[in-house]
Amino acid sequence: MRRRDPTRRRVRSPAALALALVVAASVSTAATLDDYVDAFRDALTPAVTALFDDVRADLAATAAPFPARVRARLRPFFDGTVVDGVALTPATVERGRYTVDAESSRRLFALLPPSVVAITVGDVVAFAPGEYQPDCVEGVALIAHELVHVAQFHALGRDRFLERYFLTDTLRRQLGGGSGPVAEPTTSSLEVAAHCRQAEVCRALARAGTLPACRGRQTPICPACRRNDR
């Protein structure tokens, strides 16, 4: 998922709040943050996996393979390199599919913060309106970011991917209250790997000069890789 500040919001669902209170009451008063994270994760995992499967099936109904020209631009960056234990192979480029402006995508993005520009669910990348830009530097780099998540999903499997990407990191941010050694969204190891590959692709395409910058800019705006800052 590519986003700016994705998870800093309060619990709004009464059912989720009730579940949170039940879980919190069951944890010892001497519990550490890790104990709370484990308890909440165990309670929330069935609901999260069921929702994930529903959304994945919904998006897959309208998804298509990336165009041949896009796959050709991305293959040099998916050459079998192993990043954070996950091989970024040419098969990832062929496996990934995308959807733009279908009803299922509109419903999904209506529920997400407006800062979210793309989200990967399994092997399907959904783009927010106006964010699928396959013929400019930053747009191709964004696709590369999301394809890293496709590779991670297939390497880790659904349950492990959800546990690492969504549940554990999100719970640590929420329960940690934003203080101490709680990771920011962009410092999740899975997200850092995708963010850094996006930066590498962006810089390489900018140097090559074969594609224009997006949105009529004179030069591409490439993100910085924060891997060395962790």
Quote helix, strand, coil % in the chain, to nearest 5. Answer: 60, 10, 35
Sheet holding 64-65, edge to edge: 64-65, 97-100, 124-127, 118-121
Q: Report the pLDDT value the prediction gives residue 162, as an integer from 0 to 100.
A: 84
The 10 Å CB-count burial string (b at 16+, else e) for 143-165 is bbbbbbbbbbbbbbeeeebbbeb
Strands (E), 106-216: 118-121, 124-127
pTM, whole model, 2 decimals?
A: 0.77
Distance CA 178, CA 111 (A): 23
- Quick check: 141 and 205 in contact, CB under 8 A? yes
Each of the 230 residues of the chain gets a pLDDT tens digit; together they read: 665 433 333 333 444 434 443 443 444 444 564 655 565 556 566 777 888 899 899 999 999 999 999 999 999 999 999 999 999 999 999 999 999 988 888 888 888 888 889 999 999 999 999 999 999 999 999 999 999 999 999 999 998 898 887 666 655 555 555 444 434 445 688 999 999 999 999 999 999 999 999 999 999 999 999 765 44
As a dihedral over the C-alpha atoms of residue 55, residue 198, residue 97, residue 3, rounded to 10 degrees, the angle is: 20
Q: Which has the closest alpha carbon to 66: 55, 58, 78? A: 78
- State the residue for tokens 């990967």: 120
Delimit the domains of the chain by residue range. 33-175+185-228
Distance CA 19, CA 12 (A): 12
> Within a 10 A sphere around the Cβ of 90, how many other Cβ atoms?
15
Distance CA 155, CA 157 (A): 6
